Structure 1
């Protein structure tokens, strides 16, 4: 247990709470256990075609990535982080229990495909689909409501941005290690022992994580919510529009600072910042804002300068945030297609052991975990010793973009090689089925490169958002990472569907398609997105991150 002490009226937490680490690990294993092998589960147990299973898989992950926004809003506005995490951890438990029952009770699944003179598969009934979707919804809600809100809860235990940044690195490290366990041990059980036992283990681990979280409640610092921050954002926008014809006043006395005028000292000259100056009208005091007793009060016509500045912070960071959407898109397409590639390749290690197709994603997780550890413990200190400057969050994000492009290139080259083996195999008169005499270990290289990119990108992104967002939106700041992933995954489904309908690149048997062209297309889009990121980063100015110059790309 970590030491805790009261210091200057605040709880000082010297290390990351061990209870929270245990909860993150347990919930990560549970979530990874049902999500990691979902494509294979849909194909083998629900008779869903491969490309359709990939699209459904991306939709489920997208929902899991969008739900954290709802959880963050509830945490910031009404309940605080702990109640939200505990509630959704329970919802996650219900989802994993229901998936266990679905995998165990035969009537909840269609009959297995009949293999004989003709290969026929029975489609799931409407009831079976409805139960499956309900299970996935519960599991996705539980995953979405816990994953990033628990990150906020952990960051609330620290006061300094540097400590918070270190926490986020350890949070992602724990998250990925938990997923490594899911993508190896649990997937092996599902593929070789039984789906019911595999999902049952997820439910047990989920329950353990929930219990550990609840038992650790008394050791956490609990930050009380102060009402919905989104209402103040809306009021600033409405007030600035209503006062659009009011001339701008000069001098701090014309602006409303609320009941705490000491906020004026935080500004350089006692006035709102000059950027997005049209929003400053929302804080201008006019005769129409004066009450009967001559005082002023917050309303839909008058906001505080602090509220105006909070909205400006959001406006400044939205362009940077939008550049990360494509990363979610590329990861969604990359992951789904990699699993389909693995299903067609030689996955044997020796003569008796075959690696499950979904378990290949573990190489991505391991690469991410190792890169996070290496970056924080070796690369960043070495960089600081050599340059006397720290690596800025935007530089770390930018490196992630570049490595993501490299991963797409490597994937395209390996798929070109795989298709060449397929054509050679057929010219030799061999079967044109799924089996390809090429080792699936070739897929480790792009998976590892993608993981290294994630090790740079995601910890830097969540740390930047947490430090740059207004204080009232701390839970929302960490969920913004999940939101961009969710939108990206929805886009990956749309792009996959569009590519499937307009080209011949993605047939049900990918040996007859051109998946390499899909990867080359993603490479081109990634390069364009990186150019957009450079433009946004050049214009961005840090507000709260310590030890950084004003220029977003500067050291």
Structure 2
């Protein structure tokens, strides 16, 4: 498939001038915080978290294939706004607001079905809207710096800094308003943030470089498989003239490109054989029988990067398990800060967001220059992800040590469900988790964006969301397996061995890191020109 053509826009499009408009929407739409005060809250949370991280993949497919980034973003923003408005209505309109049960009552008045319909419709719309902007916003931002690969890495750092910072505000300030002022006030703030963010993004429309998609890139990938199977009996030629080059993006480009030797059986899809109708404009009438060399190489790129991508499944699962278990630990610890304030158990995870945002802010100004001064080289995406892997399993080890101490204190105070040990003991493990995330999450997004074919840039930035969504369900399954096969996670964790669960994660993390190092060692960057512009890499790459 040919590279997407750039829309006709003024020359002053793209660049850092677009950054405030993109970050404005990213930060303000992330301020939305949704809570449900019911016994079904956990099930709703499972639905929202799992689907919320898989929806960006669907949005990426739509953006890459049909609508483009800009259109996908503003449509998603409207959907998010509608969902947030409906949530606000459930907190302000009497007929839509569930009536609380009377104190001491053994039964509650059944809720009207319309309340559930509106509530679930609001959650679905808000989840769709937020998911639709998550990956496409980072893609359109990186697209503005297409001629400055070095700046794209800087953009991803600051994009995720503002995203995590907004998540901190949503998890603290917005929740505080909902709990201590009113749900109505909290949702009004969320609606206002959505409106303001969308307005800021649209105000920057004239500055954006926009790329027009030219059909589904997944169809192109499917054609490579079909064509290579159709021509499986054809002998591979030794010269480049026998391979179909496709329509030239630049007419002056007359170099003959020969397919790489990896996965050579796919090269048959680009062989010009008897019966292939190649026209004078370098196009073909049967694209399911004859593919261009570039289409074949794009397919190979995806195959080569899949092992690296797979190393993050366990990484995402450990993060999810630690988050769930840290809340269990917090529930069994002293959460008082001073005489009048008690940290909500679920809010303990805000320390992960805080340290992720903090270290993202330090990267460009301190950490990356320090690394360069010590090693003489820039930190490559693969190295950055690897550091994240190491810090992650170190975090699990710290979690195990803290839990061992908590269990010892619990044994000394038998009969008490709340252990006289400050919940702040959990901060180091959560801080390390956040630091690890600051390394590996933006590093993966940057790597996939750099290495994926140009027709799949939105899918590249959505790859992490897919991982998180799948890891969310793997986390649930892993905890369920532990509960069924061991006595480590009883109803009262003071009687269990939660520290053993963490040690298992440490062992798994070390093994997974070994798998990652192996994949990274054999991986060769596909876009060497772009990489060379902003980083020095080990000689084997």
The answer to whether TM tops 0.5 is yes
Q: State the partner residue of 1:441.
A: 424
Q: Does the alignment pair 1:160 with 2:152?
A: no
Q: Does the alignment pair 1:23 with 2:10?
A: no
Kept in 2, the 8 Å contact 1:89–1:146? The answer is: yes
**Residue 550 of structure 1: CA displacement?**
7.2
Once the two structures are overlaid, the 10-residue window that deviates more, 121-130 or 198-207, is 121-130
Helix, strand or coil at the partner of 1:80? helix
Q: Which runs of 5+ in 1 are unaligned?
A: 1-5
Q: Distance in 1 between matches of 2:325 and 2:198?
A: 33
Q: State the partner residue of 1:333.
A: 321
Once the two structures are overlaid, the 10-residue window that deviates more, 396-405 or 337-346, is 337-346
- Count how many residue pairs are aligned between Structure 1 and Structure 2: 526
Match of residue 458, structure 2, among 472, 475, 479: 475
Change (3 A) 1:241 1:446: same
Match of residue 60, structure 1, among 48, 51, 59: 48
Q: Does the alignment pair 1:419 with 2:398?
A: no
Q: State the partner residue of 1:281.
A: 268
Q: Does the alignment pair 1:463 with 2:446?
A: yes
Q: Does the alignment pair 1:537 with 2:520?
A: yes
Once the two structures are overlaid, the 10-residue window that deviates more, 212-221 or 9-18, is 9-18
For 1:168-187, what aligned pairs fall within 5 Å after superposition?
168-187=156-175
Q: State the partner residue of 2:299.
A: 311
Q: Distance in 1 between matches of 2:315 and 2:117?
A: 31
Change (3 A) 1:264 1:73: farther
After superposition, give the CA deviation of every residue in 1:273-324 in whole Å (9 maximum; x if it has no partner). 1111111100000012136999860510100011111111111111111111
Q: State the partner residue of 1:521.
A: 504
Q: Distance in 1 between matches of 2:125 and 2:540?
A: 41
Change (3 A) 1:29 1:321: same
Q: State the partner residue of 2:137.
A: 150
Q: State the partner residue of 1:355.
A: 343
Q: State the partner residue of 1:231.
A: 219
Helix, strand or coil at the partner of 2:13? strand
Helix, strand or coil at the partner of 1:437? strand
Kept in 2, the 8 Å contact 1:94–1:139? The answer is: yes
Change (3 A) 1:294 1:319: closer
**Residue 377 of structure 1: CA displacement?**
1.6
Once the two structures are overlaid, the 10-residue window that deviates more, 319-328 or 198-207, is 198-207
Kept in 2, the 8 Å contact 1:537–1:553? The answer is: no
> What is the TM-score of this pair, normalised by structure 2?
0.89
Q: Distance in 1 between matches of 2:90 and 2:366?
A: 46
Q: Distance in 2 between matches of 1:365 and 1:467?
A: 26
Q: Which runs of 5+ in 2 are unaligned?
A: 1-7
Change (3 A) 1:234 1:122: farther
Change (3 A) 1:413 1:194: farther
After superposition, give the CA deviation of every residue in 1:368-416 in whole Å (9 maximum; x if it has no partner). 1111122222121122233331111101000000111011111122222
Q: State the partner residue of 1:209.
A: 197
Q: Distance in 2 between matches of 1:80 and 1:535?
A: 36
Helix, strand or coil at the partner of 1:289? coil
Kept in 1, the 8 Å contact 2:79–2:125? The answer is: yes
Kept in 2, the 8 Å contact 1:405–1:526? The answer is: yes
Kept in 1, the 8 Å contact 2:9–2:209? The answer is: no
Q: Distance in 2 between matches of 1:121 and 1:503?
A: 37
Change (3 A) 1:453 1:200: same
Q: Distance in 1 between matches of 2:522 and 2:403?
A: 38
Change (3 A) 1:531 1:238: same
Q: Distance in 1 between matches of 2:487 and 2:368?
A: 45
> What is the TM-score of this pair, normalised by structure 1?
0.87
Q: Distance in 2 between matches of 1:553 and 1:475?
A: 29
For 1:129-140, what aligned pairs fall within 5 Å after superposition?
132-140=119-127
Kept in 2, the 8 Å contact 1:537–1:552? The answer is: no
Change (3 A) 1:266 1:141: farther
Kept in 1, the 8 Å contact 2:380–2:537? The answer is: no
**Residue 457 of structure 1: CA displacement?**
0.6
After superposition, give the CA deviation of every residue in 1:316-343 in whole Å (9 maximum; x if it has no partner). 1111111112222122222222233323
Once the two structures are overlaid, the 10-residue window that deviates more, 148-157 or 87-96, is 87-96
Q: Distance in 1 between matches of 2:288 and 2:178?
A: 56
